[in-house]
Structure 1
Amino acid sequence: MSLLKFRGRLRSIRSLNSILSALQVVTVVRMKRIRERFAVTEEYLKPVKDVLAGRVQPKKLDKKILVVISSNRGLCGGFNTQILAKAKAFLSTHPPSPSLEKRGGGVLSVSGGEFGIVALGKRAANYFRDRLVVSEFEALERPTFAKIRALWQKVFELNAEVYVAYNAYKSTAVQAPTIVRLFPVPEELISDKEPADYILEPSAAKLTEELFRHYLEARFYQLVIASQMGELAARLMVLKGAVDNSKDLINDLVISINKLRQTNITRDLAEIIGSAEALRGKR
């Protein structure tokens, strides 16, 4: 390869390295913010969980919904692949029904016995497009409690048993695909013990109903935030690997360019010396 081509490739890889490094910094900052929000939400839900534990009564629902939280973009390794595989395995025991029908706004209606899909993220929506009940992309870009609560209202109005599939954040290198039940009774609120002795006003039944509805909204928001943490962690690992590889390529190219330059200089010197010797011999 010529020296000109080597230098062109070096410029391209250095430019790519700059872009990837910038993305890495942005991802680190976003992940720090998401971690703080998750920690605040976790702390907020603890006392609510203590009040509701053992107070919410289960009920039987024929309809079932699986909320699949993926990402809108790639560059996050196996993040989407593993949660889609987990959801597919979960749905294998609940085959799709041919009686799904479109209703107003292009939303699918769900009849008894069916298992519909609510997709958060373009990857999940594309994968389960034949079973979609609701899909949402924008709320996942910058998730706020107001946006996620509005989405939860759409899911809640379906009056179905709700499961959520998401990548639980364990560490920067590990995101575990997980499926939890959120409605009618979240698994963490099921308790064989007597409910904690709290004074509930105006009435225990009224307060429990309102508090449980709010808990579902906040818990759903927390699951979305947890998935965001997993997505950013996976993206950070991919970007780190890409930046490290680009640095290695830059070092290799610099060495190759220097070797090629040295070879060219040595060849030119040899030609000059040879020409000088030839001229001296003619004299």
Structure 2
Amino acid sequence: EKGIEGGQPIAKIFRQQPEGFHRFLPGLERLLPLEVPEARGEELIHEPALPELLDHTARLYLLGRVFGILLEAKASEQAIRRQTMKAATDNADDLIEKLTLLYNKARQHGITAELADIMGGAEALREGR
């Protein structure tokens, strides 16, 4: 968002603000006007002129701040992806564990049924003698 307020340019940016390690909340940050502290002590001579210096410094600040916000947005995206992938991996591990248990029970049931058939056949042969 940009505009003019009180004769000064204003600029605000929406961004993901980190709240802990894996949590990011949307927020609005004011970039302009810059908050400049009051001068203390004697006046200094600036080379180049102060308005030119402030203009250049403000541009560098804005460029650095926007770049930092973009880096934070990319980091939040990666953190959320990592968290999602971990949840998917954990769910897959749980599913594998359940399916392995189900497979082993079915296999055990099949083996038990085969042994019962073999034992029944052996018993029938023994009685038939």
Give your verdict on TM over 0.5.
yes
Task: Note the C-alpha offset of 1:163.
Answer: 2.5
1:252 to 66, 80, 98: 98
Identify which of 194, 204, 214 aligns with 2:38: 194
Partner of 2:7: 59
Q: How has the CA–CA distance of structure 1 residues 267 and 240 changed in structure 2, closer, same or farther, with 3 Å as cutoff?
A: same
Q: Which has the higher contact order (CA 8 A, sep 6+)?
A: 1
Q: Would you say 1:220 and 2:66 are equivalent positions? A: yes
Q: Structure 1 length normalisation: TM-score?
A: 0.39
* 1:234 positional shift: 1.6
Which structure would you say has the larger Rg?
2
- Consecutive unaligned residues in structure 1, runs of 5 or more: 1-56, 62-160
Which residue is 1:182 aligned to? 31
Q: Does 1:282 align with 2:128?
A: yes
Task: Tell me which of 17, 31, 40 is aligned to 1:168.
Answer: 17
**SS in structure 2 opposite 1:251?**
helix
Task: Give the Cα–Cα distance (whole angstroms) in 2 for the partners of residues 233 and 210 of structure 1.
Answer: 34
Write out per-residue CA displacement over residues 184-239 of structure 1, whole angstroms, 9 at most, x where no aligned residue: x2xxx325x41467763222111111111111111111111111222222222211
TM-score by length of 2: 0.81
Higher strand share: 2
Q: What percent of counterpart residues are identical?
A: 33
Number of residue equivalences: 123
How do 1:223-234 residues align onto structure 2 when only pairs under 5 Å count? 223-234=69-80
Question: 2:97 & 2:30 partners in 1: Cα distance?
Answer: 51
* 1:211 corresponds to which of 43, 50, 57: 57
1:101 equivalent in structure 2: none
